[in-house]
Every structure is written in structure tokens, then in C-alpha cells.
Amino acid sequence: MSPTNLPRWTASAPEPGDDGASPRHVAIIMDGNGRWAAARGLPRIEGHRRGVDALRRAVRSAHELGVRQLTLYSFSAENWSRPAQEVADLMNLLRAFIRRDLTELHRGNVRIRVIGERRGLPDDIGGLLEEAETLTRANSGLTLVVAFNYGGRQEIVSAVRRIAEAARDGRLDPATIDAGVVADHLDTADLPDPDLVIRTSGELRISNFLLWQSAYAEFVFLSLHWPDFDHAAFEEAIAAFRTRQRRYGGRVARVGA
Ligand code: IPE
Ligand code: IPE
Ligand code: MG
């Protein structure tokens, strides 16, 4: 199968015979902060704090492991349903992270992108997210995508709404709507699909993360909780990825087949 035969939305299209290759785009569902803290008799916030440390480690590891893009699920559209104090703690941790780490990330040539719904976020957080994106826009190193107030269904709904509006206004012929048009209306329009999705904490579900984009991602579930995620865990996930055969609905080419 040649990459040109692939539908447009498999943006990180495989090179022919790419089995055993490293993932270029890794997306992580950073889960288990609360259980990590509970197991140690600590308040949940301590788990979230240690989760930020793990996030910093993951960015460094991604760079060392040759990952070009790292997407981190930091706050879901459904996480608003948690107690107000926990939501406030998570907002404060994001503020502190951007204030503390933005300069260093920029110096490290990291390009920051944020996906998710900006409306409804505290004003200052919206400002910080924009500042992070603007400052690092021209960087050419690792792309760090922060999924914040993100929900896959919400993202698809808002894409559908904008497509419908364009059709209504005569800017788009409904007959031309295909997977590429939908992909172009998602928050991730200019970003490749994930090759590998990792979830920590032993939960085996997607929790509304990158629903469209992970159509052909490989999934690796790790039993450790997010605050314990380290370079070795990242390597383990990549090693598992490298044993997978990606077929995209086709067949594996065999010599003489
Ligand atoms: C992940 O840890 C962090 C966020 C969802 C923001 P959790 O807070 O979900 O931790 P568990 O799953 O309750 O252990
Ligand atoms: C998913 O974890 C969201 C993030 C990691 C930000 P959750 O802990 O919120 O997911 P569920 O509720 O267990 O599905
Ligand atoms: Mg959880």
C-alpha cells in the first residue's frame, strides 16, 4: 500500500514497511493521580502535583526517544463534574506550569499547541494558553499538544456545526464533504494523527480522547499510575508499539504474496 492511497485523515501515514518503526506522534491519557495519592494516604492534589512532575519527565523523554509530537490529555470536558476544589486545584496547576515552564520549553525549541474548548475557561487561563502558543509558534522541535477542556465528541460536534454553517452560507457544497473536510474542521486540523495512544492507571477506555484521530492508533495500557510514569515506562510503551503490525484495513505485504 502506498501512502498516497491512504485516506487524507491518516495524516501520519505509514511508510511502506514501517513495522518496527518508532511512533512519531504519541498521545497520552495521564490517568491515576488520585489513586496514586490515595495509596499513600495523601490528598489528591499531591497526586496531581506529582503528575505535573511526570509530565515534565514525559516531555524530556519524548524528545530523547525521537518522538516528534506529544499530545497530553490534561483536563477533559467531563472533568468539570469533579468537586469545585479539585477543579480549582487543576486550574492552578496549569497556571503554575505555564508560568514556570514556558520559558524553558521555548528555549528547548518546543512548539506548544492547545486543543479543546477555550470558551468557559477562566480568562487568565485563556490568556496563558494563547501566550504559550504565540511565543512558541515558530519553534521546530517537539510539538507539545495540550488537550485542555478537551472532549472528542464536543470537538466533532463543533466541526459539524461549522461545516453546516458553511454549507448554509453557500461556502461549501455538501457533496464535497468527505473525511478530509471533517478533519480540517477539528482542533487538530494541522496536526498528524497519533500513532500510539498510551493510557496509565490500568483503565481500558478512551474517555472521549481523540475519538476521530485515533481511528488507526495503536493502544498501550500501562498499569502504573501517572505520577510513576518515567523514561523506562515510556520506553516500554514504545517497545510494545514496535511489535505491532499496522494494517489500516489492508493486508501485510509478504514476499511473493
Ligand atoms: C488524572 O488522574 C488527572 C485528571 C483526570 C485531571 P485522576 O484524577 O483521574 O486520578 P484517578 O483516576 O482518580 O486515580
Ligand atoms: C481522562 O481521565 C481525562 C484525563 C486524563 C485528563 P478520567 O479519570 O477523567 O477518565 P474516567 O472518568 O476514568 O473515564
Ligand atoms: Mg482518572
Supply 180's cell numbers: 478530509
C-alpha of residue 32 to centroid of ligand 3, in Å? 5
Q: Whose CA is nearest to atom 8 of ligand 2?
A: 31
Summarised one tens digit per residue, pLDDT across range 128-175 is: 999 999 999 999 999 999 999 999 999 999 999 999 999 999 999 999
Cell (9 digits) for 239: 517497545
Q: How far is the CA of 249 from the centre of ligand 2 (A)?
A: 29
| Backbone Cα Rg of the chain | 19
**What kind of fold does domain 21-150+194-246 have according to CATH?**
Undecaprenyl pyrophosphate synthetase (3.40.1180)
User: CA 111, 112, 113, 119 torsion: positive or negative?
Assistant: negative
Rounded Cα–Cα distance for residues 226 and 31 (Å): 5
Q: Domain map of the chain by residue range?
A: 21-150+194-246
pLDDT tens profile 60-98: 999 999 999 999 999 999 999 999 999 999 999 999 999
Which of 28, 29, 30, 33 for a ligand 1 pocket mutation test, highest count of atoms within 8 Å of Cβ? 33
What's the DSSP call for residue 18?
Answer: -
DSSP single-letter state for residue 69 = E
Cα distance between residue 143 and residue 67, in whole Å: 9
Q: With H, G, I as helix, E, B as strand and everything else as coil, classify residue 134.
A: helix
Q: Taking the model in full, what pTM does it have?
A: 0.93
Grid coordinates in use for 189? 486540523
Query: Which residues have a catalytic role annotated?
Result: 31, 79
- The DSSP code sequence of 75-130 is EETTGGGS-HHHHHHHHHHHHHHHHHHHHHHHHTTPEEEEES--TTS-HHHHHHHH
